[in-house]
Structure 1
Amino acid sequence: MSVILSRHRGMPAQDGAGVKLTRIVNQPSLRYQDPFLMLDEFRSDNPNDYIAGFPPHPHRGFVTLTYMLAGRMEHKDSNGNTGVVEAGGAQWMKAARGIIHAEMPKQEDGLMWGFQLWINLPAKRKLEAADWADHPQGKLPVIQFEQAEIRLVAGELSGQKGPIEQAEQKFFMADLRLQPTATLELASQQQETRLAYVYQGEVSINGQLVPRGELVRLNALDDLTFVSSSSESGVIVLAGNPIGEPIAQYGPFVMNTQAEIEQAIRDYQAGKLAS
């Protein structure tokens, strides 16, 4: 069996107050990849593409994880949390029973480049208290190789542990950076859902070439060999075990049933979602 199960290109989208982005997971050719609900890449050096940001908006029922490659984004939420995520850093927000937050650029020009990943929560955790954590670049372990490195956001590798964790729900997220013509080996995480997105350059994965802007679904059990082309390359690798529960989504609310979605809307309208 080929290590690559399918290939998908992201599609242009807008969110927030008109921020231009690429929707990679949760678009017509690639729906939910349980437990991952959505993956967006935002990348532009044109302030008009990102300056309006993501003004205050609600969430319930899942987790957001923002990881930055360049630029600065400020987070503020209804629990009083505030922080700025910068290049190499990550922010984790457990919306759970409800939170209202804003994510706004802390720059007026220059490159803004990063990812937002939505991770589902099991039914028994969807109505827990909301939580938030800021992890600057220095808190993310970097595993160095001769011509490559792995920046570990979540999960365990080579005796290192990424800072982002969720109770009873292990998942893996790593940023692989390869110098030209470098080779990097990555063992299987033994998790059923496994994805790789090439965000820079192009790489061959077990002998199959994957260009920038393409996400591949991978066989869960194979060890991986990444070989970069003649330029520097970057790959986001995700792995996790499916929750296996029904998913009902309406915009920023992700629950298990339509009735729970309707309750989330009523709670938001009544000002009780984040209480």
Structure 2
Amino acid sequence: MKSTRTGLAAAAAVLALTVSACGSDDGGGGDAGSGGDGGGDSIRIGIKFDQPGLGLKQGEEYTGMDVDIATYVAGELGYSEDQIEWVQAPSAQRENLIATDQVRLIFATYSITDERKEQVSFAGPYFIAGQDLLVRSDDDSITGPDSLDGKSLCSVTGSTSAQNVQEEVPGVNLQEFGTYSECVAALQSGAIDALTTDDTILAGYAAQPQYEGQLKVVGNTFSEERYGVGLKKGDTELCQQVTDAINQMFEDGSWQAAVDDNLGQAGYQPGAGNPPTPDECA
């Protein structure tokens, strides 16, 4: 019996080695972490799961402008839609997801900054957003930060967006909630007067069916956020491929369709500089 057990163990070890050799060698499953720009089994892409109009997961369905742009870019890299594995990419985890090869690309309202470029590379930008205000559709009294004196303004706890406005307009009554969804509900009910964050995020909420015709983006941005595609630092070949795909999307009208389909219901129009000129991999 001892020799039989030894033989079985040896056979199992050989089988394990065979399976390992046939599988991924990127340490994370699939082909997303390797170079595979087309021809791989799958590609893992990070998005937000909780931003209507941008990156939203409902059951097994993924929707939003970031999702549509990511799907297009993946297609240009040689991956079909069913080869994309969507990975949740919360803001605080994005750099780690890239560095540890848990994702190949990130499309998640990922603003390009010098600080972030120390850890990751960016392709793009594919969109220029800006901080703005969301108000009720029948409220014409709020036209920008200068008109917020004495008004109640909502943003999420610890948001730099809210702090920026409070510094500029000391007379604003800042109310911080845990999520943007709570702020939007309070705005609709009249409990607050305005909500502030990136205009794309605001438009995404305003475009939701339950708020149709009730909310509007003021359209007076007072910052610039250059959304880029995050990828492994130093991967210049992939960076250029992604940038080329973004340019193609601008040229064939698919980018504008993605914006209109996801944010247009809120009457949102992209601000100055859109579509941008990708320059991160020039």
Q: Same fold (TM over 0.5)?
A: no
- More helix per residue: 2
TM-score by length of 2: 0.29
- Kindly name which structure, 1 or 2, has the bigger radius of gyration based on alpha carbons: 2
- The two structures have a TM-score, normalised by structure 1, of 0.29
Q: Identify, as 1 or 2, the structure richer in strand.
A: 1
